[in-house]
Amino acid sequence: MWLLLQGWLQRNVLALLGWVAAAAGVVAVLFGARQAGRNAERVENMRRTVEVQRDQLEVASRRPRDRGELARRMHDGTF
């Protein structure tokens, strides 16, 4: 049995190596696409986080400085 298998392997070793290389290439492409998707999602989350932080800093810079200004803003409806 081993002799039959050994003869077949000797005749088809290049074809087998070709198939293994093709399968490895497909796996590499799929893994790369998966990583690219994760990185894109990470960048989008980071962009949203920075945008929210920037908005928070902008609002904090316009806060009322004392009770009088707070009362005036609430009375005017600009708070």
pLDDT of 2 above 80: no
CA distance 70 to 62: 11
Whole-model pTM: value is: 0.57
Dihedral of the alpha carbons of 71, 73, 75, 79, in degrees to the nearest 10: -110
* Chain segment 30-73, per-residue pLDDT in tens: 999 999 999 999 999 999 999 999 999 998 998 888 999 999 98
Q: Where are the domains of the chain?
A: 19-76
